[in-house]
Structure 1
């Protein structure tokens, strides 16, 4: 299998990229940025003339200094053109160790020596030990999965010039990975966690997320079960991970037993309770009868409710409880619980902070040439986009806000916007309602006034009576209402005011973030409704409805966000009819997977794999998972035949055959026949 091409970003000042990386070390908070590979090129006819170039990479074996030096050597072998005017004389490979917060570096002189060392947050050199290399290797594998593209191209476009390799390509490298994970498992919390986890634990962190992602991608469930069985003997909390892998591998009875036995020992382990609730929720959606569905949802409710007591500051427990209420169609409780979710600021993945490169060279391998893909970059940037589509804020939601918005849109898709507003007004204090109640309460309390009270408080102006202390027309109900209600929910004023505010005492105050989500949802629905109305009018008049490819892509994303999946696929197809778009094709692929459209799925995967490879990525866990699932359902022989039968160049088909070959290497289900 040919390796992806090597992108080159040129420096203005020699070694400025390495200096910039060193300066950024103290600010890193997650797994660290992709590895940096810096090369010094020397003019063949003028040895005194040197220039620095660099690129980023993930998935390279970082288990030792020798393996990283070997990667730099492969770059020198690629420079085989006899007409070249430069040659590589020096290389530095930088790989971040997120456990010890050190940047491991290997300096290669060509020809000559190899030096390995590490740099701390202060930029000081330290000696590299075997223990540090073990940590670095594990971080490298986790980064390869964390920074991989999901097929849509979003991750690829985020950082220019990243080569992405598969870090685990056979059972031997799998053994090395899982062995390293076992040795460092109980230090995994040091790596941090996903943005929806408030406090990293032994079972909720970047290491466990990476392990589960690997097992889901490759289907190597038995290896995962063996690993977590061993670790469970050291700590019962690992049972939640063991159960998740058993459920992945369709060993549901064993998974339920593991959770049942383990919760006898630790009845308030929130991850185990949440795992139970998630399992029951999924089983309820597949229930054969309404009675069975109701029974499973009641059990899920008990587990989810208990998990919020066990971990009241975690978002995931409250979100799960809200999802259960949505499934039960208990809309008021769903909205109440959603309002209770603790929200966290989104922490994005660490990205390279580099100076502006002098030049960017993005070469193309002949093996990735496909006309429909090659024309994509040129046409993208000439397209007109309606400003109202660019201003949709929900598209930028990440972390807890994205998840909460998804729950809100699920409710809207099931009951409609008008009904959602009614439920909202039943659950929360509305601003006009609060102002009316407040005014009535104040007027009722007036006869109770006395000269002594007026002397203390000051006589209010009759024109502003009932509005004291609130000049801002946009003031949220949560602010004045909170100040007027005692902690027990009773009014802190006079007894007459109690009667008038009694309605408010049964309602809650809507959190500002949820109030904002309603406004964003309204804007999404407004734009969506205008689009669908215009489409219907144009069709009735038999006139073509025209949008640019970029606009169709945004509309597809909008419809998918609002959970109108048929309309999303329609928009994505309209985008693809104008130009190639990995995001649109990935959206259509999700529809093909749901409808089990095998040939269409294969055709979409071939193009996405080729686009990824075109931009230096030979590895996407999501695309590998799609191929593996196809092989499980249809068998390897049939899938290979469908790939080969498409009328595309052989060099393009070979890229997808490579993914299918990985499934055979891992002996995935369906590869025998």
Structure 2
């Protein structure tokens, strides 16, 4: 049996203040809810402080009944009870009371189990007003399903890390899987009540947190037959579910069945945007962008207020190399305010006890060797706005970077000025006719090179003699984009022939142009900042290399540069930066970037080495479960076979306790009878 993560404890200033803070936050929760909260009262009669309150968060614990949650609290009496190491000294604490809080996002109540040790178990629900309600079987069913979905949602570190959160795998066997899928089937048509991913404006029967969680589980574990069985049953009640079933069939490499299903269902539901999107994505993956285009257009007509349909259409135009249409489509995307996951809002801690699990210790992760807080990071790197984009804005930015990687910044600006009204040309069109007639030749800014000496990407920069290194570096910088929106015009507004802000005879010059949305105009500036910093980095790096001088950055700076290169689709340069990071200190962010590259190159040995380290790191921070690592192991086992994978892991020179943590994922694959796990 695999070792469990250590138990972090955050000490309260006043007993129960964390419970009170959770109760107060209930009315503000909008998504699946925060991780479960476990509050303990610990006593030490012979000590000066006789009683304290501590808490930690947890996901993945079986929340199907009060008994299962009480059982979790009971396990804590053994792991952090007598003779616990407490801030470096052994102390004999005794847990006297435990409260387990688990949020039910369907009914918007917090299910709570109060355990007195030794003694009673009291279960009840707390609503948004802080009032107690009876804990019914129906509420427990909803709570259980929410807890599993949260476990998948919070298993990977989010934008807002949660300190002191233990993470367990909620589904460790086919028996538990059956329980989960049964709950999902019973509550499936209430799934829209849970909300949806930030890119979906209106949750519906096939786009919500429940369906996203189901697809994530099936994709991660490879339990395609179970997924097909579930969605087949649900499709008999609601034909729209065919889009989910088709996705699972395609993922399972059952493409003929998927195509037949889509063909039959589209005849029944010709304007179902989810079905059309599956078709468009399938055609794109087969290289039939012409067919994908028709599906994507119909999906947009079906759901014009959804971001995802416009995003797919923009992706198709990108593949067809119709970049101007891709930009116009992007400009039409409805953008939504990002709604992050619910995170706990706790009062300031008195102190935190964050123990290290000895079985997960790797010397290179010893933080005593290096403290990232001491890094003096270049302000230029800290201010890059692209690193903080989320939701629809992050998705739109990715399409912009893909266009740039294919045609270059200069050509992107030309495409931009050909489809959007630019401020400069708008101003010039408003000049008096005598000045306007002088513009029979192309605009000066189009004829002359930019003041930065920018050249097309596929032409080498001019290296005249006698120039300083700084001047040479300046010449390679991208041209700063001019504003595309005249201030007196509203965003999204169309220019009319009789508009008194524009001479009537000049209207024809603009009639095929659009006004760029403010958010897209801003993304061009965000992209410019990324490209500018990237260009400075590569130029400096080349200069240092030419002079055989080491190019020095600290670990945090290398990490940021790696993610910058990744955003701009420069994978080799990203890998170079991530490797430079790891030479200075351990970095899970850098290692994940390297793992992604190793998987792309089918480097099984390198990938397993990275997985071992990442698994140890997650245990160091109280997590035994990462869907992405489970997926990576499952895919390796499918390609190489379980015996070979286990042998490669065992042949590494890490401590056996660390290797056992990785073997745990392989054992899960065997429990789920994944492809390749039987030999």
Q: Distance in 1 between matches of 2:80 and 2:53?
A: 15
What corresponds to 2:402 in structure 1?
A: 410
Q: Does the 8 Å contact 2:642/2:677 carry over to 1?
A: yes
What corresponds to 2:537 in structure 1?
A: 531
Task: Choose the corresponding residue for 1:259, options 257, 262, 265.
Answer: 262
Matches within 5 A, 1:630-645: 630-645=636-651
What corresponds to 2:297 in structure 1?
A: 305
Task: Choose the corresponding residue for 1:545, options 534, 551, 561.
Answer: 551
The alpha-carbon deviation at position 377 of structure 1 amounts to: 8.1
Q: Distance in 1 between matches of 2:593 and 2:613?
A: 13
What corresponds to 2:16 in structure 1?
A: 15
What corresponds to 1:359 in structure 2?
A: 351
Moved more, 574-583 or 83-92: 83-92
Q: Does the 8 Å contact 2:491/2:516 carry over to 1?
A: no
Q: How many residues align?
A: 628
What corresponds to 2:33 in structure 1?
A: 32
Is there any run of 5+ residues in structure 1 with no aligned partner, and where?
285-295, 445-473
Greater helix percent: which structure? 1
Q: Distance in 2 between matches of 1:199 and 1:274?
A: 16
What corresponds to 2:475 in structure 1?
A: none
Structure 1 residues 652 and 551: alpha-carbon distance in aligned structure 2, compared to 1, 3 A threshold: same
What corresponds to 1:480 in structure 2?
A: 488
Deviations 1:410-438 (A, max 9, x none): 00000000000000000100001111112
What corresponds to 2:456 in structure 1?
A: none
Structure 1 residues 422 and 325: alpha-carbon distance in aligned structure 2, compared to 1, 3 A threshold: same
RMSD: 1.9
Q: Distance in 2 between matches of 1:173 and 1:333?
A: 48
What corresponds to 2:448 in structure 1?
A: none
Task: Choose the corresponding residue for 2:392, options 390, 393, 400.
Answer: 400
Task: Choose the corresponding residue for 1:349, options 326, 341, 352.
Answer: 341
Task: Choose the corresponding residue for 1:603, options 600, 609, 618.
Answer: 609
What corresponds to 1:283 in structure 2?
A: 286
**Is 1:224 matched with 2:227?**
yes
Q: Distance in 2 between matches of 1:173 and 1:25?
A: 29
The alpha-carbon deviation at position 370 of structure 1 amounts to: 0.7
What corresponds to 2:183 in structure 1?
A: 180
Deviations 1:459-489 (A, max 9, x none): xxxxxxxxxxxxxxx99635534599767x4
Task: Choose the corresponding residue for 2:158, options 148, 155, 177.
Answer: 155
Task: Choose the corresponding residue for 1:167, options 170, 173, 190.
Answer: 170
**Is 1:438 matched with 2:450?**
no
The alpha-carbon deviation at position 48 of structure 1 amounts to: 8.7
The alpha-carbon deviation at position 12 of structure 1 amounts to: 0.2
Structure 1 residues 638 and 420: alpha-carbon distance in aligned structure 2, compared to 1, 3 A threshold: same
Task: Choose the corresponding residue for 2:383, options 391, 411, 416.
Answer: 391
**Is 1:612 matched with 2:612?**
no
The alpha-carbon deviation at position 365 of structure 1 amounts to: 1.3
Q: Does the 8 Å contact 1:218/1:625 carry over to 2?
A: yes
The alpha-carbon deviation at position 208 of structure 1 amounts to: 0.3
Matches within 5 A, 1:187-202: 187-202=190-205
Task: Choose the corresponding residue for 1:621, options 620, 623, 627.
Answer: 627
Q: Does the 8 Å contact 1:198/1:315 carry over to 2?
A: yes
> What's the TM-score once normalised by structure 1's chain length?
0.91
Structure 1 residues 386 and 46: alpha-carbon distance in aligned structure 2, compared to 1, 3 A threshold: closer
The alpha-carbon deviation at position 102 of structure 1 amounts to: 0.2
Moved more, 431-440 or 508-517: 431-440
Is there any run of 5+ residues in structure 2 with no aligned partner, and where?
84-89, 437-481
Structure 1 residues 204 and 485: alpha-carbon distance in aligned structure 2, compared to 1, 3 A threshold: closer
> What's the TM-score once normalised by structure 2's chain length?
0.90
Q: Distance in 2 between matches of 1:34 and 1:127?
A: 22
Q: Does the 8 Å contact 2:563/2:574 carry over to 1?
A: yes
What corresponds to 1:448 in structure 2?
A: none
What corresponds to 1:132 in structure 2?
A: 139
What corresponds to 2:52 in structure 1?
A: 51
Q: Does the 8 Å contact 1:441/1:497 carry over to 2?
A: no
Moved more, 655-664 or 431-440: 431-440
Q: Does the 8 Å contact 2:420/2:484 carry over to 1?
A: no
Q: Does the 8 Å contact 1:45/1:85 carry over to 2?
A: no
What corresponds to 1:73 in structure 2?
A: 74
What corresponds to 1:107 in structure 2?
A: 114
Q: Does the 8 Å contact 1:434/1:481 carry over to 2?
A: no
Q: Distance in 2 between matches of 1:485 and 1:410?
A: 28
Q: Does the 8 Å contact 2:201/2:307 carry over to 1?
A: yes
Moved more, 274-283 or 621-630: 274-283
Structure 1 residues 43 and 305: alpha-carbon distance in aligned structure 2, compared to 1, 3 A threshold: same
Q: Does the 8 Å contact 1:5/1:616 carry over to 2?
A: yes
Q: Does the 8 Å contact 2:307/2:335 carry over to 1?
A: yes
Q: Distance in 2 between matches of 1:565 and 1:350?
A: 33
**Is 1:237 matched with 2:240?**
yes
The alpha-carbon deviation at position 49 of structure 1 amounts to: 2.4
The alpha-carbon deviation at position 264 of structure 1 amounts to: 0.6
SS at match of 1:658: helix
Deviations 1:384-404 (A, max 9, x none): 210000000000001000000
SS at match of 1:669: coil
Moved more, 430-439 or 80-89: 80-89
Q: Does the 8 Å contact 1:193/1:204 carry over to 2?
A: yes
Q: Does the 8 Å contact 1:38/1:91 carry over to 2?
A: yes
Q: Distance in 1 between matches of 2:229 and 2:67?
A: 31
What corresponds to 2:105 in structure 1?
A: 98
Q: Does the 8 Å contact 1:58/1:163 carry over to 2?
A: yes
The alpha-carbon deviation at position 140 of structure 1 amounts to: 0.1
Q: Does the 8 Å contact 1:486/1:492 carry over to 2?
A: no
Q: Distance in 2 between matches of 1:443 and 1:580?
A: 62
Q: Does the 8 Å contact 1:32/1:350 carry over to 2?
A: yes
Q: Distance in 2 between matches of 1:479 and 1:646?
A: 62
The alpha-carbon deviation at position 505 of structure 1 amounts to: 1.7
SS at match of 1:531: helix
